[in-house]
Amino acid sequence: SAAPVKVAVTGAAGQICYSLLFRIASGALLGPDQPVELRLLEITPALKALEGVVMELDDCAFPTLAGVQIGDDPEKVFDGVNLAMLVGARPRTAGMERGDLLSANGAIFTAQGKALNKVAASDVKVLVTGNPANTNALIAMTNAPDIPKERFNALTRLDHNRAIAQLAAKLGVTVSEIKKMTIWGNHSSTQYPDLFHCEVNGENAAAKVNDQAWIENDFIPTVAKRGAAIIAARGSSSAASAANATIEHMRDWVLGSPEGDWVSMAVPSDGSYGVTEGIISSFPCTTAGGEYSIVQGLDLDDFSQARIAASVAELEEERDAVKELGLI
Ligand code: NAI
């Protein structure tokens, strides 16, 4: 059988990983014929809890799980890894200023970027889920100069899936009838979920909705603030859906996106659509052969251009703040 793919996951004792690890191990990431070896990184005080999670992984007796290693040293855990899912991050706690949050996470993602640069496999792909995801990915990318920039992505697939779910509910269609959804910009409340290029059974979604007020005042804010709505309802942030999106992004990146559709991925901008080069911003992307391409040639009207520009301005501010802190 195939040699195991080594998959690193950080924040492995946290809530997202309590869904994510079991799905990776069960074959949901790379299929039932591809064994995986898990490399799990946590901070020292969480290693005991992580040992309990590993006991549960053992108790699933997954045929696709070839091995599990845990640790608190990124240079050991990332050694030879082919895929890295960077989920662990410092959450914002009471009294913490934005600068404190950026420096706490900056320390994590500079160290992890350097470790990946030093020890990861030459084909490594890195997906950042931990927030602020786009800027954390920028920090890791900048601190890993020997890894091609295109190997660093951030997660906006959850926003993409949320947008599909909201539109399906509005139009009374199934999610499979919706194609070509796009999230542009930052994984934050400035993100722009775009219905103007989206299709429902081949028809333009915005035209089918035919209600600009709903798009502006209902759809966009509902998608952008869904994370906060889940915290308000559940008492903790989205975990199973974030794990699902993390799997889907990485699976499509490795195995290819579906024919006739595209996905949203936050990737280093090459300047497409006027998005500042170098920042990690969400675009419509197709994937094949383990590489993504930004979908080209979409017409953006003034409304869409203004929304994208606002989110890009926020990403530039975040970039400037971490630059000032000496993290990139
Ligand atoms: P959590 O707090 O339950 O788990 C985070 C884990 O990361 C903790 O176990 C912690 O010990 C660990 N950790 C902290 N620093 C670490 C380091 N240096 N190395 C390794 N592990 C470290 O958080 P949860 O709910 O699992 O969320 C994780 C992150 O994902 C958060 O930043 C959250 O905001 C973000 N998120 C992103 C989404 C997206 O769509 N991009 C959606 C939902 C959550």
Residue pLDDT, tens place only, 195-237:
999 999 999 999 999 999 999 999 999 999 999 999 999 999 9
- End-to-end, the C-alpha distance of the chain in Å comes to 42
> Which tokens in the block code for residue 54?
């590993």
Assess whether the C-beta atom of 237 lies below 6 angstroms from ligand 1. yes
Q: Is the pLDDT of residue 100 over 90?
A: no
Beta strands in 167-312, from DSSP E residues, in sequence order: 178-179, 182-184, 192-194, 199-200, 203-204, 263-268, 280-288, 291-294
Ligand 1: atom nearest CA of 129 is 41
According to DSSP, the residues that pair with 203 across neighbouring strands are 200
Residue ranges of the binding site: 11-17, 92, 98, 105, 112, 129-131, 162
Q: Which residues of 199-230 are buried (b: 16+ CB within 10 A; e: fewer)?
A: bbeeeebbebbeeeeebeeebbebbbebbeeb
142 has pLDDT over 80: yes
Of 237, 248, 264, the one to substitute when testing ligand 1's pocket (max ligand atoms within 8 A of C-beta) is 237
Region label for 147, one of left (φ > 0), alpha (ψ between -120 and 50) or beta (otherwise): beta
User: Which residues, including other chains, have CB under 8 Å from residue 176's CB and lie 6 or more apart?
Assistant: none
Tell me, in angstroms, the distance from the centre of ligand 1 to residue 296's CA: 33
How many Å apart are CA 25 and CA 38, to the nearest integer? 8
Closest CA to 117 of 141, 135, 96: 141
Nearest Cα neighbor of 263 from 253, 272, 255, 271 is 253
pLDDT at 96 over 90: no
Is residue 12 within 8 Å of residue 88, measured between CB atoms?
Answer: yes
User: What are the structure tokens assigned to 262, written together?
Assistant: 């595209």
- Region 147-158: mean pLDDT is 98
* Pairing of the two strands 152-154 and 125-128: parallel
Q: Which atom of ligand 1 is nearest to the CA of 41?
A: 20
Instruction: Categorize the per-residue pLDDT at 97 as very low, low, confident or very high, splitting at 50, 70 and 90.
Output: confident
Residue 154 has pLDDT above 90, yes or no: yes
Closest alpha carbon to 83 in 114, 113, 121: 121
As a whole number of angstroms, the distance between CA 162 and CA 168 comes to: 10
* pLDDT > 80? residue 98: no
Predicted pLDDT at 249: 98
For residue 41, the model assigns a pLDDT of: 98
Question: What band does 94 get if pLDDT is binned at 50, 70 and 90?
Answer: confident
Question: Token pair of 286, please?
Answer: 């197709």
Residue with CA closest to ligand 1 atom 12: 11
Strand partners, 194: 182
Place of tokens 């975040």: 318
Average pLDDT, the chain: 96
Ligand 1 centre to CA of 130 (Å) is: 5
pTM: 0.98
161 pocket-lining for ligand 1 (C-beta < 6 Å) = no
Token reading at 194: 């775009």
3-class secondary structure, 62: coil
Residue 101's pLDDT band, with cuts at 50, 70 and 90, is confident
Nearest ligand 1 atom to the CA of 237 is 25
How do residues 252-282 score in pLDDT, each as one tens digit? 999 999 999 999 999 999 999 999 999 999 9
Sign of the dihedral through C-alpha 188, 190, 193, 197: negative
Predicted ipTM > 0.90: yes
* pLDDT value at residue 279: 98
CA of 314 relative to ligand 1 center, distance in Å: 22
- Indicate if ligand 1 lies below 6 Å from the C-beta of 155: yes
Active-site positions read: 187
Identity of the residue numbered 175: V
Q: Tell me how far the alpha carbon of residue 131 lies from the centroid of ligand 1, in angstroms.
A: 7
Quick one: pLDDT band at residue 91, thresholds 50, 70, 90?
confident
